[in-house]
Amino acid sequence: MLPLYLVAVLPPEPVLTETWALKQEVHRLTGSRNAVRLPPHITLLPPFRAPATFEADCLAALADFAAAEQPFDVALDGFAWFGDRTLFVHVAAAEALKAFHARLRRWCAERLPQVPSENRPYTPHLTLATRDLPPAQVPELRQLFAGRSYAAAFTVAGLTLFRHDGQQWQPRPTIALGPPR
């Protein structure tokens, strides 16, 4: 089977530690293993399969793309759900991130044809748990997170390619935005 890849934004500290603690809390409360298989991130390119030889080409193409981009700010504000399957931290004022995503998609269409095109609208979010949430625990989890707040802001300074090793997602080097120094 072909390796599985995804491209994401990793939040810097302290947001990384804060959101990792939220993911671990959901894991403790529900047993969701998907909650802790990937560090907190905002997906740019959802999981897709490509030959192992794709990785080097992808990293080079992403570096070319990132060199022409400038860092930008993102804000996180509150919790939301996609149905009963996915709990996430909401990305507020996401215009800059959506524009960045659109430019990345156009770049991939031209430079990385192995990356499948997207059929649904881009909804930036930072997933806390998905897919394996026990349905019986969802109402309690909804109530718990409805009564809580979380807000943070950070500068998106890079993007990261992940490769799944069969058990967990492994990050490859983060590629900085802006011209090489």
Radius of gyration of the chain (CA): 16
DSSP secondary structure letter of residue 137: G
* pLDDT digits 0-9 by tens, 99-147: 999 999 999 999 999 999 988 899 999 999 988 999 999 999 999 999 9
CA-to-CA distance for 150 and 19, rounded, in angstroms? Answer: 9
Give pTM, 2 decimals.
0.94
Query: Is residue 115 within 8 Å of residue 108, measured between CB atoms?
Result: yes
CA-to-CA distance for 174 and 155, rounded, in angstroms? Answer: 14
88 residue type, one letter: F
* pLDDT digits 0-9 by tens, 8-36: 999 999 999 999 999 999 999 999 988 88
Strands (E), the chain: 4-9, 42-49, 72-82, 86-92, 125-130, 151-156, 158-164, 169-176
- The pLDDT value recorded for residue 64 is 96
- The pLDDT value recorded for residue 79 is 98
Query: Is residue 175 within 8 Å of residue 156, measured between CB atoms?
Result: no
Structural domains for the chain? 4-176 (3.90.1140.10)
The tokens describing 103, both together, are 């430019």
CA-to-CA distance for 60 and 113, rounded, in angstroms? Answer: 14
DSSP secondary structure letter of residue 33: S
- The pLDDT value recorded for residue 166 is 86
Residues 6+ apart with CB under 8 A from 65: 103, 104, 107, 111
- Mean pLDDT over 63-82 rounds to 97
The pairs formed by 109-113 with CB atoms below 8 angstroms and a separation of 24 or more are 111/61, 111/64, 111/65, 112/57, 112/58, 112/61
Residue ranges of the alpha helices (H) in 32-90? 54-67
CA-to-CA distance for 153 and 146, rounded, in angstroms? Answer: 20
* pLDDT digits 0-9 by tens, 140-154: 999 999 999 999 999
